[in-house]
């Protein structure tokens, strides 16, 4: 398993001013950094690729869709803008030498909604992602669908729903990205949901139930790592915990979940590495 961390542990927006985080992650002994693509305007692909190469660090990328890029929308203009944005994200991923791009890429994140999704909603999302997946395949990039909780999406909340959308898209480079924070709300079992993802699992966000330091809350870490060991999982797994609110993505952190970002990272990494050792990952 490749152990890494999301850049949001320290920064609210990626830019060349945060390139030093690549060095910081390397010094922590981690395998990769997850770079957010929320603001492509401040994303300098060549600079990131050069810094990653110079320190010898792997990377992956992620994002969420907003209201004007919602590919599940009934408005064809919004869907077209969403496809354009996701294609730009795929190209940005390829530009830094990464091969994994994931997140809430199937519908608007935190979409105001008063009804369950219709078949048309699923179809809009699948058709758009099929087009994005075709470009991604040409560039050697795999797409990961990340289920999130009911308060952040009405479309994909569970691993089973993510697999359903994957089947609708029907492309070989579509995979599953699980997140323990959301699983704590939506899944019946961390172990069973992880096993259900199976060989389609490409990325895992390792979060405590309150987004604080892993190992200090209610998440069934033994169940998760037992499943990952049985799957012989060798994909990405990133700490995605937050201390501060960000300027471009609502993380709903209204209290201090750790003394500071460094403490969160240090103690979180130590705990996750102990779980890896316990379960032979």
Treating both helix axes as pointing N-terminal to C-terminal, what angle do 190-197 and 221-231 enclose, rounded to 10 degrees?
Answer: 20
Choosing from 152, 186, 240, 267, the catalytic residue is 240
What is the torsion angle, in degrees rounded to the nearest 10, for the CA atoms of residue 8, residue 13, residue 16 and residue 17? Answer: -80
**Nearest alpha carbon to residue 69 among 154, 144, 129, 151:** 129
Q: In sequence order, which ranges of 66-174 are alpha helices (DSSP H)? A: 76-95, 119-138, 159-169
Say whether 146 is catalytic: yes
Q: Which residues lie closer than 8 Å to 125 by C-beta, 6 or more apart?
A: 71, 72, 106, 107, 155, 165, 168
The whole-angstrom separation of Cα 10 and Cα 236 is 19
**DSSP run (H or E) holding 177:** strand 174-179
Confirm if 80 and 124 have CB atoms less than 8 A apart: no
Confirm if 149 and 185 have CB atoms less than 8 A apart: yes
Structure-block tokens of residue 233: 């999982």
The whole-angstrom separation of Cα 209 and Cα 186 is 12
Choosing from 146, 187, 208, 267, the catalytic residue is 146
Say whether 240 is catalytic: yes
Other beta carbons less than 10 A from residue 170's beta carbon: 10
CA distances from 271 to 56, 113, 223, 233, 278 (A): 24, 38, 15, 18, 11
Q: Coil, helix or strand for 118?
A: coil
Q: Which residues are catalytic?
A: 146, 240
């Amino acid at each position: 398993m490749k152990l890494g961390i999301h850049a949001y542990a320290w920064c609210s927006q990626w830019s060349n001013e945060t390139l030093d985080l690549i060095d910081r992650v390397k010094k922590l002994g981690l395998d990769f950094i997850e770079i957010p693509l929320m603001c492509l305007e401040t994303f300098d692909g060549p600079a990131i690729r050069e810094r990653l190469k110079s320190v010898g660090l792997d990377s992956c990328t992620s994002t969420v869709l907003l209201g004007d890029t919602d590919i599940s929308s009934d408005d064809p203009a919004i869907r077209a803008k969403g496809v354009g944005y996701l294609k730009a994200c795929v190209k940005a991923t390829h530009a830094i030498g990464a091969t994994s791009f994931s997140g809430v890429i199937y519908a608007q994140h935190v979409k105001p909604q008063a009804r369950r999704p219709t078949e048309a909603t699923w179809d809009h999302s699948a058709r758009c992602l099929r087009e994005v997946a075709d470009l991604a395949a040409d560039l050697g990039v795999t797409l990961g669908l990340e289920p999130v909780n009911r308060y952040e999406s009405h479309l994909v909340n569970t691993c089973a729903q993510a697999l359903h959308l994957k089947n609708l898209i029907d492309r070989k480079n579509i995979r599953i990205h699980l997140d323990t924070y959301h699983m704590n709300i939506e899944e019946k079992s961390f172990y069973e949901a992880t096993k259900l993802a199976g060989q389609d699992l490409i990325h895992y966000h390792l979060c405590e139930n309150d987004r604080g330091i892993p190992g200090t809350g209610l998440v069934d870490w033994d169940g998760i790592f037992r499943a990952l060991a049985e799957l012989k999982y060798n994909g990405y797994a990133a700490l995605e915990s937050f201390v501060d609110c960000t300027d471009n993505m609502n993380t709903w952190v209204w209290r201090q979940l750790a003394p500071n970002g460094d403490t969160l990272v240090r103690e979180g990494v130590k705990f996750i590495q102990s779980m890896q050792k316990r379960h032979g990952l």
